Amino acid sequence: MTESFKYTGNKGKGGELHQPASDTHPIMTIAQGCPVSDDQNSLKAGASGPTLMEDHVLREKLFHFDHERIPERVVHARGYGAHGYFETYEALNELTCADIFQRKGEKTPVFARFSTVAGNKGSPDLARDVRGFAVKFYTQEGNWDLVGNNIPVFFIQDAMKFPDLVHSAKAEPDRGFPQAQTAHDNFWDFISLTPESMHMVMWAMSDRAIPRSLRFMEGFGVHTFKFISAKGNEKFVKFHWKPKGGMQSVVWNEAVKLNGADPDFHRRDMWQAIGEGDYPEWELGVQVFDQKFADDFEFDVFDATKLIPEEQVPVKIVGRMVLDRVVDNFFAETEQVAFCTQNIVPGLDFTPDPLLQGRNFSYLDTQIKRLGGPNFTHIPVNAPKCPMRHFQQDGHMAMQNPKGRVNYEPNSWEGGEHNPRACPAHGYQSSSEQVSGDKLRYRSETFADHYSQARQFYISQTDIEQGHIQNALVFELSKVEHLAIRERMVSHLLNIDETLAKKVADGLGLENMPQAAEAAMKTRDDLPVSDALSILKNGTHTFKGRKLGILVSDGVDAAIFNKVTDALKALGANHEVIAPQVGGVTCSEGKRISAQQVINGGPSVLYDAVLVLVTEEGAKSLAKVPEAKDFVTDAHAHMKFIGYTPSAMPLFEAAGLADKEDKGWIDLNDISAKSFVKTLGALRYWQR
């Protein structure tokens, strides 16, 4: 756009002014650069048409619009991404020559995308689902994509089964629903015929599958990878992400309501946190072990349905990832980012895990379909930030084209920037490995134990978490129409834990307990409890990064309001004011307090705790508003802390909560604002 173009106003043929004339707006052009005089009226023959085919401005505008969509990801379609950096805590050169781990304190740019698996692009954020946790590290020796999940194991052991798994989980093909949920016959039919999925099912039915925030969940590389040092020494490695804000999940009823109240809850949360400078942060940890450990371990370390308990191989923290920048353009970055498990760098290697091997084909293949050709690495979010020198050329949308005459190897032309050579000393080296065997379709017998770690996960949960797993199974299987599928699932649960099976059978109203499913291997009951597997055992004790919902009425006690909001601010926590009108209320000191939500737009599920700060008159008037009653009954039912002053009682009475008061209810006349905010750090009053 040249400066010499000056906008001079734009009179439509009907005489009306379409845009205010202004010197501050540059002139609009079509994509070919031609300035546009009117982008609101098509070119017509006469005042009432018809429209002329000649109108190149209209045709270009419509043609481009028609082509705006690209295929959504076949899985992980709904996602949210952000930029940031990875900071290396210490040099790991004894373990790996990966450039990113060579220098303490070095910062490497990253792009991370979090996703749900089953739902379409427009599905709600709080679906019960695995969350994708994909990170692209733009290292100085190429892009390393760690394409993980928030659950450390997977449903299947062999890539061959992936299309079946995904077909079964997505909407049923004849009817096109249900959207973004596994609570249907096809999914549970497949699962109940796939015993290897039982460990993952325990995770998917646990609170891990309904995180409160993307910021409050762990991430895992899932597979075993290899670290290779400069001397050629090899170690196995599993990658972990530990959220600095601690882990936190919602309860199921809250998830269901959140999906209605704010389908964008997770992405909005991330957008707001970054916008407010409360940058989401995770530490990267590694579990490093050798062949001897792998040989002695109870399970096959190449089986993606198994994990290595942290108590057995501790997670060594090696760096941190900070997400400090939202995207400039959602499509350009979050949609077009192309993660590929094959993107690794010198110092790292794959293992024979049959799931990982299949992924290494699938991701590249899917990007070509999604992004339209082989040049998706030219899109800025995918382009490495280190030099690229190769002889790949041409193809659709080629943006970065090799210069000069040479485009083949070997060649006898002069060296220099445009004539690169492969380098055995510095180039990527696969670890050398003896491979032999018959060609056959085979599942290793070392992959045969499908229940022991499922049991270990279940027994490692607190009673509350076990209850949630039972309820989730009852909920999902109650949506299954075929009794035989429900029974088949319970027959698997019997191999995991008898009490669990019984609770689920009771919850489903099964008349007869089925036989335990046939199993290739007996469930081990000697695997110890692993506390690291529970969210609540590792609970956080701070309200930092969380949000208090303050329900107010005119005359709200300004002193309490100010003290609480100051204490929240001091801690790095947020609040939102919910009022009868978005214009806000007048407080006891006569000042206006503005509101972010009105009562029917700000249900308590949006908040980690609530404070009801209303006058008696305000409480009486809110007592007539159904949404205000829901606000407090839901907060109570979801085990949230409820701050209040006694003047709020008429609302609690109308909501049927008058005799339900417990220690999770906090009278702000009895306790300082600071102590109140400290109490909120427990996040929920589980004893309720």
Binding-site residues: 73, 113, 162, 359, 363, 370
Smallest CA-to-CA distance from 546 within 532, 531, 567 is with 567
Q: At its nearest, how many Å lie between ligand HDE and the CB of residue 165?
A: 8
| Contact present, 116 and 176 (Cβ < 8 Å) | no
Residue closer to ligand HDE (CB basis): 284 or 504: 284
146 lines the binding site for ligand HDE (CB under 6 A): no
Near ligand HDE by CB under 6 A: residue from 85, 154, 241, 652 = 154
Residue closer to ligand HDE (CB basis): 307 or 517: 307
Residue 115 identity (one-letter amino acid): S
289 lines the binding site for ligand HDE (CB under 6 A): no
Which residue bears the tokens 């530490």? 283
Q: How far apart are CA 149 and CA 44, in angstroms?
A: 54
Q: Output DSSP code: residue 46.
A: S
Q: Which of 10, 143, 149, 150 is catalytic?
A: 149
What is the side-by-side strand order in the sheet with 665-667? Answer: 597-598, 574-579, 547-552, 609-613, 642-644, 665-667
Q: How far apart are CA 143 and CA 99, in angstroms?
A: 11
For 561, the token pair is 């309001």
Near ligand HDE by CB under 6 A: residue from 102, 116, 149, 460 = 149
204 lines the binding site for ligand HDE (CB under 6 A): no
Q: How far apart are CA 503 and CA 466, in angstroms?
A: 10
Q: How far apart are CA 228 and CA 351, in angstroms?
A: 12
What part of residues 326-345 is at the interface with ligand HDE (CB under 6 A)?
337, 339
323 lines the binding site for ligand HDE (CB under 6 A): no
User: Reduced to 3 states, what is the DSSP secondary structure of residue 147?
Assistant: strand
**Could you tell me which stretch among 146-154, 250-258, 290-298, 622-630 binds ligand HDE (CB under 6 A)?**
146-154
Q: How far apart are CA 183 and CA 181, in angstroms?
A: 6
Q: At its nearest, how many Å lie between ligand HDE and the CB of residue 79?
A: 5
Near ligand HDE by CB under 6 A: residue from 10, 57, 78, 79 = 79
Residues 6+ apart with CB under 8 A from 429: 228, 346
Q: How far apart are CA 491 and CA 501, in angstroms?
A: 8
Q: How far apart are CA 551 and CA 628, in angstroms?
A: 9
191 lines the binding site for ligand HDE (CB under 6 A): no
Residue closer to ligand HDE (CB basis): 369 or 389: 369
Enumerate the known binding-site residues for heme: 73, 113, 162, 359, 363, 370
Residue closer to ligand HDE (CB basis): 72 or 106: 72
If you write DSSP's letter for every residue of 113-141 in order, what string do you get? EEEESSS-TTS-TT-SS-EEEEEEEEETT
Per the omega criterion (within 30 degrees of 0), is the bond before 178 cis? yes
User: Reduced to 3 states, what is the DSSP secondary structure of residue 252?
Assistant: helix
For 177, the token pair is 């629903």
Q: What pairs with residue 243 in β-bridges?
A: 282
Q: Minimal CB distance to ligand HDE: which residue?
A: 132
**Could you tell me which stretch among 41-49, 360-368, 413-421, 499-507 binds ligand HDE (CB under 6 A)?**
360-368
User: Reduced to 3 states, what is the DSSP secondary structure of residue 566?
Assistant: helix
Q: At its nearest, how many Å lie between ligand HDE and the CB of residue 94?
A: 27
Near ligand HDE by CB under 6 A: residue from 100, 135, 147, 606 = 147
Q: At its nearest, how many Å lie between ligand HDE and the CB of residue 237?
A: 14
Smallest CA-to-CA distance from 681 within 485, 540, 555 is with 540
**Could you tell me which stretch among 285-293, 354-362, 425-433, 658-666 binds ligand HDE (CB under 6 A)?**
354-362
Q: What is the pattern of x (binds ligand HDE, CB under 6 A) and - over residues 108-137?
A: -----x-x----------------x-x---
| Contact present, 385 and 397 (Cβ < 8 Å) | no
CA 133 to chain centre: 6
Near ligand HDE by CB under 6 A: residue from 10, 57, 76, 88 = 76
Q: At its nearest, how many Å lie between ligand HDE and the CB of residue 186?
A: 18
Q: What pairs with residue 111 in β-bridges?
A: 83, 136
Residue closer to ligand HDE (CB basis): 78 or 575: 78
149 a catalytic residue = yes
**Could you tell me which stretch among 353-361, 420-428, 531-539, 675-683 binds ligand HDE (CB under 6 A)?**
353-361
Near ligand HDE by CB under 6 A: residue from 74, 193, 397, 483 = 74
Q: At its nearest, how many Å lie between ligand HDE and the CB of residue 107?
A: 22
| Contact present, 527 and 451 (Cβ < 8 Å) | no
Residues 6+ apart with CB under 8 A from 383: 377, 400
HSE-CB of 574 using CA atoms within 13 angstroms? 15
Distances (CA, A) of 157 to 189, 218, 311, 388: 18, 22, 24, 35
| Contact present, 681 and 542 (Cβ < 8 Å) | yes
Q: What is the pattern of x (binds ligand HDE, CB under 6 A) and - over residues 363-392?
A: x--x--------------------------
Q: How far apart are CA 249 and CA 251, in angstroms?
A: 7
Q: At its nearest, how many Å lie between ligand HDE and the CB of residue 73?
A: 3
**Could you tell me which stretch among 5-13, 74-82, 598-606, 631-639 binds ligand HDE (CB under 6 A)?**
74-82
Q: At its nearest, how many Å lie between ligand HDE and the CB of residue 304?
A: 6
Q: At its nearest, how many Å lie between ligand HDE and the CB of residue 362?
A: 4
Near ligand HDE by CB under 6 A: residue from 159, 454, 560, 587 = 159
Count of positions on this chain that bind ligand HDE (CB under 6 A): 25
Q: At its nearest, how many Å lie between ligand HDE and the CB of residue 337?
A: 6
- What are residue 609's phi and psi, to 5 degrees? -160, 165
80 lines the binding site for ligand HDE (CB under 6 A): no
**Could you tell me which stretch among 262-270, 358-366, 596-604, 605-613 binds ligand HDE (CB under 6 A)?**
358-366
| Contact present, 428 and 349 (Cβ < 8 Å) | no
76 a catalytic residue = yes
Near ligand HDE by CB under 6 A: residue from 7, 38, 93, 162 = 162
Q: At its nearest, how many Å lie between ligand HDE and the CB of residue 214?
A: 12
Distances (CA, A) of 302 to 81, 421, 458, 586, 684: 29, 35, 22, 63, 38
419 lines the binding site for ligand HDE (CB under 6 A): no
Residue closer to ligand HDE (CB basis): 257 or 306: 306
**Could you tell me which stretch among 41-49, 294-302, 352-360, 575-583 binds ligand HDE (CB under 6 A)?**
352-360
**Could you tell me which stretch among 69-77, 265-273, 435-443, 486-494 binds ligand HDE (CB under 6 A)?**
69-77
Residue closer to ligand HDE (CB basis): 366 or 419: 366
Residue 2 identity (one-letter amino acid): T
What part of residues 208-227 is at the interface with ligand HDE (CB under 6 A)?
222
Q: What pairs with residue 85 in β-bridges?
A: 109, 322
Q: Which of 76, 83, 575, 636 is catalytic?
A: 76
For 456, the token pair is 């270990």
Instruction: Give the β-pairing of 597-598 and 574-579.
Output: parallel
Q: How far apart are CA 526 and CA 198, in angstroms?
A: 18
Residue closer to ligand HDE (CB basis): 330 or 391: 330
For 392, the token pair is 């790949």
Indicate which residues carry an active-site annotation. Answer: 76, 149
Query: Given the rule CB under 6 A, which residues bind ligand HDE?
Result: 73-76, 79, 113, 115, 132, 134, 147-149, 154, 159, 162, 222, 304, 337, 339, 355, 358-359, 362-363, 366
